[in-house]
Amino acid sequence: MIKLALADDHQLVLDGLKSIISDVEDFELVAEGNNGRDICLIADNFDVDVLLIDIDMPLMNGMQATEVIKKKHPNMKVLILTMHNEKGIIQKVLEVGADGYLLKNTNQDELISAIRKVQSGERYFSADVTLSLASPADGVKVRFQNVEIDTSLTEREIEILRLIAQGLSNKEIGDKLYISHRTVDTHRTNLMRKLDAKNIAALIRYAIRAGLIE
């Protein structure tokens, strides 16, 4: 069983998460709280594998709680579940030790997958979070699961890389993004050059390892 604990100051969110957890055979909810202090006490007193923590909470926010928990219980996994998609906030949460970062607009399947991956020792990020962190604005590299996404990739190139990895053709990608298939082909060529990929299979492997697709 994967033992879970939740912390969010909105009861409706907690109720929704509990409903999802109760439907998964190998998930067990052991405790819940409404603020950062609650989840720190839960970490101290319960046998928990993965903690799902919101950022905006009273008394102690999720970033502070994550830092406290990871210092005292480094083997506990923390999965942030929030509405915040700002690069600065994401980076700070990762710096204090969070194992994953999900946005609250995620679907049920992605949430379940993220919990399993984090519990198994992987890091997990929503696709939108990946795009935020990979923004070329600051000229640094960000490490994801097993690879670094070089910020020479533009947001459009990352978007196209994800669609290529999903098996879409140039025409299908062009139709989806309202650009010509020739423009897609140019982006594909640039991706292969920047990532030193010899073929489409190499692009797909990169996308998977970077967490752009399942």
117-142 per-position pLDDT tens digit: 999 988 888 766 766 665 544 443 44
Can you list the alpha helix ranges (DSSP code H) found in 5-86?
Answer: 11-22, 36-45, 62-72
Per-residue confidence (pLDDT) for residue 141, from 0 to 100 = 43
| pLDDT confidence of residue 51 | 97
pLDDT (0 to 100) of residue 95: 85
Distance of alpha carbon 208 from alpha carbon 53, whole angstroms: 25
**CATH fold match for the domains 2-125 and 134-209:** no
Bridge partner residues of 31 (DSSP): 5
Q: Which residue has the tokens 């006490």?
A: 41
Query: Which ranges of the chain have pLDDT less than 50?
Result: 136-147
Q: CATH topology for 2-125?
A: Rossmann fold (3.40.50)
Handedness of CA 67, 68, 70, 71 (dihedral sign): positive
Closest residue by Cα to residue 52 from 105, 121, 4, 95: 4
How many Å apart are CA 128 and CA 82, to the nearest integer?
12
**pLDDT score at 24:** 93
CA 128 – CA 105 distance, rounded (Å): 10
The domain spans of the chain are 2-125, 134-209
Under CATH, to which class is 134-209 assigned?
mainly alpha
Residue 55: DSSP 8-state: S
Per-residue pLDDT tens digits for 45-63: 999 999 999 998 888 899 9
Q: What is the pLDDT of residue 136?
A: 47
Per-residue pLDDT at 147 = 46
Q: Work out the number of other CB atoms within 10 angstroms of the CB of residue 63.
A: 21
Q: What is the per-residue pLDDT for 93?
A: 84
pLDDT reported for residue 34: 93
Match 């298939």 to its residue by tokens: 181
* Backbone dihedral angles phi then psi of residue 154, each to the nearest 5 degrees: -85, 165
Verdict on whether the full-model pTM lies above 0.75: no
